[in-house]
Amino acid sequence: MSAEPLLSIDGLTVEIPTARGQLRAVHRVDLTLAAGGTLGVAGESGCGKTMLSRAVLQLLPRNARLQGRVMFDGQDLTRVVPKVLRRLRGKSIAVVFQDPTTSLNPVLTIGQQIIETLKVHLGLNGAAAARRSVELLAAVGIAAPEQRLRQYPHQLSGGMRQRAVIAIALSCEPKLLIADEPTTALDVTVQAQILDLLAREQRRRHMAMILITHDLSVLAGRTDEVAVMYAGRIVEHAPTTLLFADPRMPYTQALLAAIPKIDSPPHTPIPNIPGQPPDPTRRTSGCAFAPRCRYAIERCHGQEPGLSAPDPRGRRHACWLPLMNSPQPRATIEDAR
Amino acid sequence: MVTIDAGIDDTVTERLQRRSGTLLWLSAAWIVLVVAAALLADLLPLPSPTDMDMLGRRMPPDATHWLGTDGLGRDMLSRIVFGARTSLTVGVVSPLVGLVLGGALGMLAGYFRGRFEGFVVGIMDALLAFPPLVLALAITAYVGQSVFNLTMVIGFLSIPPFARVARAMTLSLSRREFVTAARALGATHARILSRELFPNVLLPLVAFFLLAVAVTIVVEGALSLLGLGVPPPQPSWGSMIGEARDSLDIAPRLAFLPAGVMFMTVLSFNLVGDALRVITDPRQAAP
């Protein structure tokens, strides 16, 4: 872990001008990811997870303003020329999007879409690219890959389509795979298969992976570290096991408590988090989570807590009153899974 | 797995079989017949379409003139066959001009947005706001009458509708995730336009094209009827109807024969176009 990180994000801020004012989607985010490491990014809808991932790839809306640095493999992605960026995208950094019904082109066959990528990035000829596509589809668990190559996206099931999307993402052996809510649009039964597939391929190919989700339970056992985001900021960042066993930030604790437990008696209410996330176009003084926090004190409303320096076990949190020895023993990894 | 198995066997031929009805086959046969007649008009054993016979004017059908003769004693069948050549040339080439130029403009405007889009949309709106027939009349009167000029004028007029369809499709498609996914895979603008957007935009444009062929045949007819279409004595269906105006009370068939042929052709293009769209669209799942 001490080696030069593959990806390091320094003070990343993304602002998008809207009719109601500047929308601050991501606010001073610092993250690092080592080669072959896995990072989970969790948070509610609209907390900036997706904007963070788009900022890494420089796929932000045209009017978005970006500050900070995104260093990937020794290059600052916010400054490289478009040509270099195009070569990195797909080849070194690949993305799996949320909804496989829209992330595949409906009028091209699966084969055309994979072969295209292979030809452009790896310079393979038609026959070699076709052979490689069959291997890739087989690797992501698609039966009868030769037949599937000739089919259109609508002829495949949702899980099958997401597998094809993953095959395209893996096609050039990227060093970093960003999976942006890869299972949200899928059946529950398929979700675990897709997540396991991603984890398996990640280990096998030794790629780094950023797994973005709103469901903390997805991250348990599949990531090394987890960053919890709230209102565009990282509010807690810790090794996965520690975060689940002993969350510091009340928001993380609340998210963990909101995971339904299989051993709870029937009709147990799931503890939810009261209130709404803050309006991202408004500046707040103090901790963004304070209005919804059970433990908030005077200081939380007036002064914003910065993200602390990592403690000896690598934990960082942004809270004036971090929870110590969490009174939530039930929120362990076993439960979450 | 049932749906997937059905999907594997769902080939174009099968979808064609499901769609086909007698009417569709009749339409296709009619188009083939008209196109073949137009292409082979010179080789067919027909009397000249321009030779007049002042003694045999408005003759009823007989052995030499199968459909009779017109007001100047010219063979009706021959004029309809040679007229098909003119009407189809104008009817197919003009919308093709619109498809290529309008489609390209619309896609570029919808993809790149910004000031270029404002410029294109403004010009298209201005062109659409002008009464097309009057504009066609004005241009034809200015540049002169010929099949080429007529084709270009109607082609020019068909640019705005194609551009609108292409732009609207591109606008909504550009926001779809597969375009973002293509960018995330390192695709250039040219590649996104040609590989991701073009195949998606082409299908509705082709369906629109077949409709435009039908409309153009009618527009050519209208221009010829007004005497500003194909210069005489070259026959076209529209000019035949126009010339038959004075004898509508004596020999209505002189107008109704070309009108009937035009009607059948336009209807066939519409029916076949509709069926083609359904058959070739890979997004159409099994019924």
Q: Which residues of B touch A (CB under 8 A)?
A: 3-4, 7-8, 10, 176-178, 180-188, 191, 195-196, 199-200, 203, 281-283, 285
Question: CB–CB of B183 and A154 under 8 A?
Answer: no
Q: Which two tokens stand for residue B264?
A: 């059948």
- Structural domains of chain B, count: 1
- What pLDDT, on a 0 to 100 scale, did the predictor assign at position A313? 84
Give how far the C-alpha of residue B13 lies from the chain's centroid of Cα atoms, to the nearest Å.
25
- What pLDDT, on a 0 to 100 scale, did the predictor assign at position A39? 92
B43 in any annotated domain: no
Q: Exposure of B274 by Cβ count < 10 A (0-12 exposed, 13-18 middle, 19+ buried)? A: middle
Query: Which among A90, A99, A156 has CB closest to B185?
Result: A90
Q: Which two tokens stand for residue A87?
A: 């070569």
Q: How far apart are CA A170 and CA A291, in angstroms?
A: 42
pLDDT at B194 over 80: yes
- Write down the ipTM of this complex: 0.75
Q: Which two tokens stand for residue A245?
A: 């066993």
CA distances B200 to B177, B205, B206, Å, are 14, 9, 11
CA distances A285 to A15, A335, B221, B276, Å, are 18, 36, 73, 62
Chain A stretch 78-107, residues whose beta carbon is closer than 8 A to a beta carbon of chain B: 85-91, 93-95, 97-99, 102-107
Question: CB–CB of A107 and B199 under 8 A?
Answer: yes
Helices B198-225 & B76-112 angle (0-180, nearest 10) = 140
- Chain B, nearest residue to A177 by Cα: B184
- What pLDDT, on a 0 to 100 scale, did the predictor assign at position B97? 94
Maximum C-alpha span of chain A: 68
Q: Which two tokens stand for residue A36?
A: 């072959």
B238 in any annotated domain: yes
Question: Where does CATH 3.40.50.300 sit in chain A?
Answer: 7-92+174-336
CATH number for position B98: 1.10.3720.10
Q: Which residues in chain B touch residue A97, judged by CB atoms under 8 angstroms apart?
A: 177, 180-181, 184
**Best mutation site among A77, A105, A157, A163 for testing chain B: the one with the most B CBs within 10 Å?**
A105
**Best mutation site among A107, A161, A176, A184 for testing chain B: the one with the most B CBs within 10 Å?**
A107
- Chain A, nearest residue to B285 by Cα: A154
Q: How far apart are CA B59 and CA A57, in angstroms?
A: 78
Q: Which residues in chain B touch residue A98, judged by CB atoms under 8 angstroms apart?
A: 177
B14 in any annotated domain: no
pLDDT above 90: percentage of residues in chain B: 10
Q: How far apart are CA B180 and CA A287, in angstroms?
A: 34
Closest to A155 measured CA to CA, from B7, B2, B280: B7
Q: Exposure of A20 by Cβ count < 10 A (0-12 exposed, 13-18 middle, 19+ buried)? A: exposed
Query: Which among A85, A90, A107 has CB closest to B203?
Result: A107
- What pLDDT, on a 0 to 100 scale, did the predictor assign at position B100? 94
CA distances B247 to A287, B66, B122, B239, Å, are 90, 19, 46, 14
Residue B162 domain boundaries: 76-280
B23 in any annotated domain: no
CA distances B282 to A117, A168, A226, A319, B179, Å, are 21, 20, 41, 54, 18
Q: How far is B114 from chain A (nearest CA, A)?
A: 11
Chain A stretch 124-183, residues whose beta carbon is closer than 8 A to a beta carbon of chain B: 147, 151-152, 154-157, 160, 165, 168
Q: Which residues in chain A touch residue B182, judged by CB atoms under 8 angstroms apart?
A: 105
Other beta carbons less than 10 A from residue B196's beta carbon? 24
CA distances B60 to A232, A238, B123, Å, are 86, 97, 51
Residue B9: pLDDT band by 50, 70, 90 thresholds? Answer: very low
- What pLDDT, on a 0 to 100 scale, did the predictor assign at position A332? 44
- What pLDDT, on a 0 to 100 scale, did the predictor assign at position B98? 92
Q: What is the DSSP string of B215-244?
A: HHHHHHHHHHHTT-SSPTTS--HHHHHHHG
Q: Which two tokens stand for residue A191?
A: 């979700």
- What pLDDT, on a 0 to 100 scale, did the predictor assign at position B16? 59
Length of chain B: 287
Query: Which among B10, B177, B184 has CB closest to A90?
Result: B184
Are A42 and A227 contacting, i.e. CB atoms less than 8 angstroms apart? yes
Residue B12: pLDDT band by 50, 70, 90 thresholds? Answer: low
Length of chain A: 337
Q: Residue A144: which residues within 8 A CB-CB, separation 6 or more?
A: none
- Chain B, nearest residue to A85 by Cα: B186
Range with the poorest average pLDDT among A81-95, B108-122, B242-256: B242-256
Query: B60-96 burial by CB neighbour count: b if 16+ within 10 A, else e?
Result: eeeeebebbbbbbbbbbbbbbbbbbbbbbbbbbbbbb
- What pLDDT, on a 0 to 100 scale, did the predictor assign at position B283? 60
pLDDT in tens, B197-209: 998 888 888 888 8
B28 in any annotated domain: no
Q: What is the DSSP string of A102-136?
A: TSS-TTS-HHHHHHHHHHHHH---HHHHHHHHHHH
- Chain B, nearest residue to A95 by Cα: B184
CA distances A95 to A23, A26, A171, B70, B231, Å, are 24, 19, 11, 70, 61
- Chain A, nearest residue to B201 by Cα: A107
pLDDT in tens, B140-170: 788 887 888 888 888 988 899 999 989 998 9
Q: Which CATH superfamily is domain A7-92+174-336 in?
A: P-loop containing nucleotide triphosphate hydrolases (3.40.50.300)
Please write down the HEC assignment for all residues of B56-115: HCCCCCCCCCCCCECCCCCEHHHHHHHHHHHHHHHHHHHHHHHHHHHHHHHHHHHHHCHH
- What pLDDT, on a 0 to 100 scale, did the predictor assign at position A331? 44
B5 in any annotated domain: no
Strand, helix or coil for residue A250 = helix
pLDDT tens track of chain A, all 337 residues?
446 789 999 889 998 888 888 888 888 888 889 988 999 999 888 788 888 888 888 888 888 888 888 999 888 888 888 888 888 888 899 988 888 888 888 888 899 889 988 888 888 888 899 999 998 898 888 888 899 998 888 888 888 888 899 999 888 889 999 998 888 878 888 888 888 888 888 988 889 999 999 888 888 888 999 999 988 889 999 999 888 888 888 888 888 888 887 888 888 888 788 888 888 787 778 888 888 888 888 888 888 888 888 888 888 888 888 887 644 444 444 444 4
- What pLDDT, on a 0 to 100 scale, did the predictor assign at position B15? 59
Q: How far is A82 from chain B (nearest CA, A)?
A: 9
B17 in any annotated domain: no
B44 in any annotated domain: no
Question: CB–CB of B184 and A116 under 8 A?
Answer: no
Question: What average pLDDT does the segment B177-196 reach?
Answer: 86
Give the single-character DSSP code of B248. Answer: T
- How many A/B residue pairs have CB atoms within 8 Å? 85
Question: CB–CB of B199 and A108 under 8 A?
Answer: yes
Are A228 and A237 contacting, i.e. CB atoms less than 8 angstroms apart? yes
pLDDT at B126 over 80: yes
**Best mutation site among B8, B177, B284 for testing chain A: the one with the most A CBs within 10 Å?**
B177
- What pLDDT, on a 0 to 100 scale, did the predictor assign at position B241? 80
Q: How far apart are CA B218 and CA B214, in angstroms?
A: 7
pLDDT in tens, B257-279: 888 888 888 888 888 877 777 76
- What φ, ψ does residue A254 adopt, rounded to 5°? -65, -40
- Chain B, nearest residue to A160 by Cα: B4
Q: Which residues in chain A touch residue B285, judged by CB atoms under 8 angstroms apart?
A: 154-155
Are B267 and B30 contacting, i.e. CB atoms less than 8 angstroms apart? no
